[in-house]
């Protein structure tokens, strides 16, 4: 059973082809990331136009990579949401055209569930139920993944997503966009215990909050920049050129990363304790973070938990995870009519 997976929820136009929900035959990605860099964040209109321009080419690349003709595709899976509305429409319209022309079933997929399914593709011994930690640029949540591909939400962020916090702190430190990979690398050279940033814990045990941490970083920077007139405008941090030394920037980056990862690890362990589940899957762009991988890996060993991180190419937005999840969904009969619409607020159905 070969399923094509189409992903256009944000700035990656990605198409994967996966056999039997496991074997990746192709994973083609074209990113408009470079076009968003100057703005310090993804511009929805630019992302949508880039999808329109490149989606055919990405599809052709995926077919070539898999050495397949379109006829060899058995079903079409597509990200229905969550994501940028304009960007989602393009992937969905393309998927419908493909399903119609090939006369194949159309399978709508939740983007966040697909991020978690990437862990099942990585390690076939990972079986539901497992605790899922989704850490991306737009979402941070904990859930329980059940065997029937249903996801029970335990808690989510009440303000910024963790990836967004990485991006905003990087912007504040003048490190460019996206900030996660830069902070990850720079933290190697910083002293992570130099500043003890707050580990904010919201009242509900599995909800997250990162805005307090972000503001604490802002105040620390303000203290360090002499004669600064930094202001928090509209609750957001302003980009600026700092007069900080490289070492100071690395120390703040490492201390921020330590606090953010600490929050994620603590809540994930708590979710395992409360549910009695001993398996954990991590998904989303921030799952590439080396400190998160090390910390949760170590805690997993200590607490006898199976912790699965997909390899970095399966952590970022990709079509293979969408195609992969399409397989069990198809077996469960979760196909959709061609009248289906995208849902930018979808969250782990
Ligand atoms: O899942 P993703 O590719 O897109 C969304 O669905 O949001 O995640 C992108 C996010 C960005 O905020 C980026 O800064 C963050 O993932 N990210 C990282 C790392 N690599 C990407 N954050 C921390 N450490 C990393 N190594
Ligand atoms: Zn994503």
36-70 tens-digit pLDDT: 877 777 888 888 999 999 999 999 999 999 999 99
**pTM listed for this prediction:** 0.92
Kindly give the confidence (pLDDT) of every residue in the chain, 349 residues in length, as a single tens digit, with 9 standing for 90 and above.
999 999 999 989 999 999 999 999 999 999 888 888 777 778 888 889 999 999 999 999 999 999 999 999 999 999 999 999 999 999 999 999 999 999 999 999 999 999 999 999 999 999 999 999 999 999 999 999 999 999 999 999 999 999 999 999 999 998 988 899 999 999 999 999 999 998 876 778 899 999 999 999 999 998 887 545 554 444 444 545 556 788 999 999 999 999 999 999 999 999 999 999 999 999 999 999 999 999 999 999 999 999 999 999 999 999 999 999 999 999 999 999 999 999 887 777 6
**Residue-level pLDDT at 346:** 75
CA of 272 to the centre of ligand 2 (A): 23
Q: Tell me the best of 33, 116, 166 to mutate to test the pocket of ligand 1, counting ligand atoms within 8 Å of each CB and taking the most.
A: 166
CA of 36 to the centre of ligand 1 (A): 14
**Residue-level pLDDT at 235:** 45
Measured from CB, residues less than 6 Å from any atom of ligand 1 are 10, 136-138, 163-164, 166-167, 178-181, 184, 284-286, 288-289, 316-317
Q: Which atom of ligand 1 lies closest to the CA of 137?
A: 7
**Residue-level pLDDT at 347:** 75
CA of 137 to the centre of ligand 1 (A): 5
Q: Which atom of ligand 1 lies closest to the CA of 316?
A: 3
Nearest CA to ligand 1 atom 22: 180
Q: Write down the mean pLDDT value for the chain.
A: 92
Q: Tell me the best of 81, 286, 310 to mutate to test the pocket of ligand 1, counting ligand atoms within 8 Å of each CB and taking the most.
A: 286
**Residue-level pLDDT at 198:** 87
CA of 101 to the centre of ligand 2 (A): 28
Q: Which atom of ligand 1 lies closest to the CA of 177?
A: 14
Q: Please write down the HEC assignment for all residues of the chain.
A: CEEEEEECCCCEEEEEEEECCCEEEEEEEEECHHHHHHHCCCCHHHHHHHHHHHHHHHHHHHHHHHCCCHHHCCEEEEEEECCCHHHHHHHHHHHHHHHHHHCCCEEEEEHHHHHHHHHHHHCCCCCCCEEEEEECCCCEEEEEECCCCCEEEEEEECCCCHHHHHHHHHHHCCCCCCHHHHHHHHHHHCCCCCCCCCCCCCCCCCCECCHHHHHHHHHHHHHHCCCCCCCCECCECCCCCCCCCHHHHHHHHHHHHHHHHHHHHHHHHHHHHHHCCCEEEEECHHHHCHHHHHHHHHHHHHCCCEEECCCHHHHCCCHHHHHHHHHHHHHCCCCECCCCCCCCCCCCC
CA of 264 to the centre of ligand 2 (A): 17
Give the pLDDT confidence of 206-233 residue by residue, as tens digits.
999 999 999 999 999 988 875 455 544 4
For the stretch 67-74, contacts whose Cβ atoms lie closer than 8 Å and that sit 24 or more positions apart, written own/partner, are 68/2, 68/17, 68/25, 68/26, 70/98, 70/101, 70/102, 71/102, 72/2, 73/2, 73/3, 73/4, 73/17, 73/98, 73/102, 73/104, 74/1, 74/2, 74/3, 74/104
**Residue-level pLDDT at 300:** 96
Whole-angstrom Cα distance, residue 274 to residue 271? Answer: 5
**Residue-level pLDDT at 266:** 96
Q: Indicate the angle between helix axes 44-66 and 85-102, nearest 10 degrees.
A: 30
**Residue-level pLDDT at 226:** 57
**Residue-level pLDDT at 34:** 83
CA of 137 to the centre of ligand 2 (A): 7
């Amino acid at each position: 059973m070969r399923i094509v997976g189409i992903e256009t929820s944000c700035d990656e136009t990605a198409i994967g082809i996966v056999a039997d929900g496991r074997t990746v035959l192709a994973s083609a990605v074209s990113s408009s990331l470079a076009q968003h860099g100057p703005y310090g964040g993804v511009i929805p209109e630019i992302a949508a136009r880039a999808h329109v321009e490149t989606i055919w080419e990405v599809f052709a690349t995926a077919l070539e990579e898999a050495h397949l003709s379109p006829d060899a595709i058995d079903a079409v899976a597509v990200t229905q949401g969550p994501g940028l509305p304009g960007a989602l429409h393009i992937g969905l319209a393309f998927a419908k055209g493909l399903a119609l022309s090939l006369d194949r079933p159309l399978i709508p997929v939740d983007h966040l569930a697909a991020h978690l399914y990437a862990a099942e593709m990585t390690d076939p011994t990972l079986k539901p139920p497992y605790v899922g930690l989704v850490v991306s640029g737009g979402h941070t949540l904990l859930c329980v993944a059940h065997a029937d591909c249903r996801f029970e939400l335990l808690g989510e962020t009440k303000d910024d997503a963790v990836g967004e916090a990485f991006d905003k702190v990087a912007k504040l430190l003048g490190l460019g966009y996206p900030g996660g990979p830069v902070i990850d690398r720079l933290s190697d050279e910083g002293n992570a215990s130099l500043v003890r940033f707050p580990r904010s814990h919201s009242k509900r045990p599995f909800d997250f909050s990162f805005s307090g941490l972000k503001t604490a970083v802002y105040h620390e920077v303000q203290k360090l920049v002499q004669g600064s007139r930094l202001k928090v405008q509209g609750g957001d941090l302003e980009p600026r050129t700092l007069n900080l030394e490289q070492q100071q920037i690395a120390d703040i980056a490492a201390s921020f990363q330590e606090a953010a990862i600490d929050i994620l690890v603590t809540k994930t362990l708590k979710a395992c304790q409360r549910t009695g589940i001993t398996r954990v899957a991590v998904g989303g762009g921030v799952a590439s973070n080396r400190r998160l991988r090390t910390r949760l890996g170590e805690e997993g060993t200590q607490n006898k938990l199976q912790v699965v991180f997909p390899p970095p190419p399966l952590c970022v937005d990709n079509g293979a995870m969408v195609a992969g999840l399409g397989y069990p969904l198809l077996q469960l009969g979760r196909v959709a009519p061609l009248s289906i619409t995208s849902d930018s607020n979808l969250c782990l159905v």
